[in-house]
């Protein structure tokens, strides 16, 4: 039997690979400094540089962004400078005036949890390789399921809410067509429903699953971005009349732009009547369940078949920490199990705790760890306070906007989202939208935002809503954000609006 592999092999016995030692203290110091200065306000949120400027800056410190075969390894000092440059040139999502995304204000305990998970560097696939993490994941999932009011559940952490929505659709498809696992989709016109304000991952999912984009029927919303039950009922009836086969309703709890919560009880009624899988995409909003004041937004979730819940959005757990939960048991393994013999040996101790066959992924990061650490340190009262604080800021902001002719709410505020327009002086008091007004507001948004990015003092997003012009969106998530931050940000928007007008051609 030949002992050598197909390539040339070393003949001399291998000695330990010579690798430079690392001065960990030097490398982590700038990271700890960043975390300690998390709520510092007199620092730019973003430096607005283009690709060339970033590249030049890294080259100037001896750490060019590019990689090549002849590159000399950096010494530790230069590596530390590179870390400092990464920090200085990245968007400061910890800043109390970062309102740009559906996450903000990372909890330092979560950041440490990511560090801990990386240092222990394992995979969630088996209890053998991840005993403590397997147990922690089960505890976190169990408590989330209890908050949803489910007597029995299964679940898994996944890399983002999009994957949760994908899994939900796959489980639903296999419930109505279990043969699809072996046979594949056979062209039966299965159709799923989600609202016009639902996340775009529903669309991506039906494409990936081989159902096709036309399998997703978008249902109209009310002015808060909530799916209208009457529109869903009509859409189901219309699909049935066309000979299609409805199988899935993707409700949203906390839409991305307007923060709308679909009316789950009414959707659950329809889902039951038509035997549809009811999935709740609570990636953004399910954390309302921690707040006694906000939990009613989630009323009806106990009747859902599955739930997406991202702890990395409202709760300050770092990217990514996304739970996918299924009511009842068995569907996940029925969908995903392959029983790979190299990994899931039934003759191992505690093999029944292996999670690998309950998910699509093989190796998985230990995302539940950081959530567990934050949860233990803040407690559920801490989570509730974080939610209530954020909602309170949104209320304050909406009230300010409603009483100020320089702004106008683009939609009724909901959850932690406030969408509004800055009204140019010659349109005050705002007399309503016309095609000309829409064109003005739409074109102003990117210029106003550009002015804001130049200043670097706050960051918020804009997008069109329901066919209307671009509006700005403030998302309140960071517990370090204050009333004064909200007020200052509105003044900043006004200043940037005037600047954008003045610079307009």
Rounded Cα gap, residues 320 and 317, in angstroms:
8
Give the DSSP H/E element, type plus range, for residue 165.
helix 161-176
User: Which one of 95, 97, 99, 133 is in contact with a copy of itself (CB under 8 A)?
Assistant: 133
Q: Are strands 216-219 and 245-252 parallel, antiparallel or unpaired?
A: unpaired
Whether residue 259 contacts residue 287, with contact meaning beta carbons closer than 8 Å, is answered with no
Q: Find the binding residues for a copy of itself in span 234-293 (CB under 8 A).
A: 256-257, 259, 261, 288, 293
Minimum CB distance to a copy of itself smaller for 232 or for 373: 373
> For residue 425, what are the contacts with CB-CB under 8 A and spacing of at least 6?
498, 501
> For residue 150, what are the contacts with CB-CB under 8 A and spacing of at least 6?
302, 325, 327
CB of residue 438 to a copy of itself, shortest distance in Å:
15
Q: Furthest-apart CA pair in the chain: how many Å?
A: 88
User: What does the per-residue mask of binding to a copy of itself show for 323-362, with x meaning CB under 8 A?
Assistant: ------------xx-x-xxxx-x-xxxx--x------xxx
Minimum CB distance to a copy of itself smaller for 86 or for 273: 86
Rounded Cα gap, residues 396 and 490, in angstroms:
12
Tokens of 393: 């800021």
Q: Find the binding residues for a copy of itself in span 423-482 (CB under 8 A).
A: 445-446, 449-450, 461-464, 470, 473, 479-482
> For residue 393, what are the contacts with CB-CB under 8 A and spacing of at least 6?
416, 476, 481, 483, 486
- 184 lies in the binding site for a copy of itself (CB under 8 A): yes
Tokens of 456: 């670097």
Only one of the segments 15-23, 242-250, 324-332, 427-435 lies at the binding site for a copy of itself (rule: CB under 8 A); that segment is 15-23
CB of residue 274 to a copy of itself, shortest distance in Å:
21
Give the DSSP H/E element, type plus range, for residue 58.
helix 51-60
Q: Find the binding residues for a copy of itself in span 376-395 (CB under 8 A).
A: 376-382, 385-386, 388-389, 391-395
Minimum CB distance to a copy of itself smaller for 221 or for 273: 221
Q: Find the binding residues for a copy of itself in span 80-99 (CB under 8 A).
A: 82-83, 85-87, 89-94
- 309 lies in the binding site for a copy of itself (CB under 8 A): no
Scanning 2-93, the segments in alpha helix (DSSP H) are 24-36, 51-60, 76-89
Backbone angles phi, psi at 322, to 5 degrees: -120, 120
CB of residue 71 to a copy of itself, shortest distance in Å:
6
- 16 lies in the binding site for a copy of itself (CB under 8 A): yes
Backbone angles phi, psi at 215, to 5 degrees: -75, -10
Rounded Cα gap, residues 477 and 487, in angstroms:
16
Only one of the segments 67-75, 230-238, 244-252, 490-498 lies at the binding site for a copy of itself (rule: CB under 8 A); that segment is 67-75
Rounded Cα gap, residues 276 and 267, in angstroms:
10
Only one of the segments 41-49, 233-241, 265-273, 426-434 lies at the binding site for a copy of itself (rule: CB under 8 A); that segment is 41-49
CB of residue 279 to a copy of itself, shortest distance in Å:
16
CB of residue 27 to a copy of itself, shortest distance in Å:
5
Only one of the segments 51-59, 227-235, 239-247, 430-438 lies at the binding site for a copy of itself (rule: CB under 8 A); that segment is 51-59
CB of residue 426 to a copy of itself, shortest distance in Å:
22
CB of residue 198 to a copy of itself, shortest distance in Å:
11
Whether residue 89 contacts residue 59, with contact meaning beta carbons closer than 8 Å, is answered with no
User: Which one of 145, 168, 180, 315 is in contact with a copy of itself (CB under 8 A)?
Assistant: 180
Only one of the segments 49-57, 232-240, 268-276, 424-432 lies at the binding site for a copy of itself (rule: CB under 8 A); that segment is 49-57
Minimum CB distance to a copy of itself smaller for 377 or for 492: 377
Residue the block writes with tokens 């954020």: 390
Only one of the segments 43-51, 233-241, 428-436, 497-505 lies at the binding site for a copy of itself (rule: CB under 8 A); that segment is 43-51
SS3 247: strand
Minimum CB distance to a copy of itself smaller for 69 or for 435: 69
> For residue 237, what are the contacts with CB-CB under 8 A and spacing of at least 6?
none
Q: Is 66 exposed, middle or buried (0-12, 13-18, 19+ CB in 10 A)?
A: exposed
User: Which one of 61, 101, 217, 492 is in contact with a copy of itself (CB under 8 A)?
Assistant: 101
Rounded Cα gap, residues 256 and 475, in angstroms:
10
CB of residue 407 to a copy of itself, shortest distance in Å:
13
Tokens of 354: 């292996």
Rounded Cα gap, residues 431 and 438, in angstroms:
12
Q: How many residues bind a copy of itself (CB under 8 A)?
A: 200
């Amino acid at each position: 039997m030949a002992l050598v592999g197909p390539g040339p092999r070393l003949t001399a016995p291998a000695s330990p690979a010579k690798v430079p030692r690392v001065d960990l203290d030097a490398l982590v110091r700038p990271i700890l400094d960043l975390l300690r200065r998390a709520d510092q306000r007199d620092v730019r949120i973003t430096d607005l540089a283009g690709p060339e400027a970033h590249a030049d800056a890294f080259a100037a410190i001896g750490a060019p962004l590019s990689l090549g075969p002849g590159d000399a390894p950096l010494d530790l000092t230069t590596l530390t400078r590179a870390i400092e440059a990464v920090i200085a040139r990245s968007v400061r999502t910890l800043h109390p005036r970062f309102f740009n995304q559906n996450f903000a204000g990372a909890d330092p305990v979560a950041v440490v949890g990511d560090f801990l998970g990386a240092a222990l560097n394992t995979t969630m696939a088996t209890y053998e390789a991840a005993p403590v993490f397997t147990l922690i994941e089960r505890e976190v999932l169990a408590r989330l399921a209890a908050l949803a009011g489910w007597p029995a559940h299964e679940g898994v952490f996944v890399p983002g809410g999009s994957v949760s929505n994908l899994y939900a659709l796959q489980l639903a498809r296999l419930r109505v067509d279990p043969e699809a696992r072996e046979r594949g989709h056979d062209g039966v016109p299965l159709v799923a429903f989600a609202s016009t304000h639902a996340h775009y991952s529903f669309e991506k999912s039906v494409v990936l699953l081989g159902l096709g984009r036309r399998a997703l029927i978008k249902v109209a919303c009310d002015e808060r971005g909530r799916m209208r039950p009457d529109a869903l009922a009509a859409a189901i009836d219309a699909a049935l009349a066309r000979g299609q086969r409805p199988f899935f309703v993707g409700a949203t709890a906390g839409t991305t732009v307007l923060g709308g919560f679909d009316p789950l009880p009414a959707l659950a009624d329809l889902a039951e009547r038509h035997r549809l899988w009811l999935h709740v995409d609570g990636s953004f909003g399910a954390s309302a369940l921690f707040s006694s004041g906000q939990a009613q937004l989630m009323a009806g979730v106990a009747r859902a078949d599955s739930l997406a819940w991202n702890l990395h959005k409202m709760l300050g757990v770092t990217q990514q920490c996304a739970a996918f939960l299924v009511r009842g048991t068995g569907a996940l393994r029925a969908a995903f199990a392959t029983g790979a013999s190299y990994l899931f040996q039934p003759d191992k101790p505690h093999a029944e705790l292996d999670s690998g066959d309950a998910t699509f992924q093989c190796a998985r990061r230990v995302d539940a760890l950081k959530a567990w650490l934050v949860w233990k340190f803040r407690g559920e009262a801490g989570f509730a306070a974080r939610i209530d604080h954020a909602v309170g800021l949104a209320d304050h902001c909406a009230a300010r906007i409603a009483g100020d002719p320089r702004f106008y709410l683009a939609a009724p505020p909901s959850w932690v989202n406030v969408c509004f327009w800055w009204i140019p002086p010659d349109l005050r008091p705002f007399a309503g939208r016309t095609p000309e007004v829409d064109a003005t507001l739409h074109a102003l948004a990117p210029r106003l935002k550009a002015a804001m990015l130049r200043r670097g003092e706050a960051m918020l997003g804009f997008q069109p809503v329901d066919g209307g012009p671009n509006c700005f969106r403030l998302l309140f998530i960071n517990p370090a954000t204050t009333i004064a931050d909200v007020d200052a940000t509105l003044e900043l928007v006004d200043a940037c609006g005037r600047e954008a007008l003045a610079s307009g051609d």
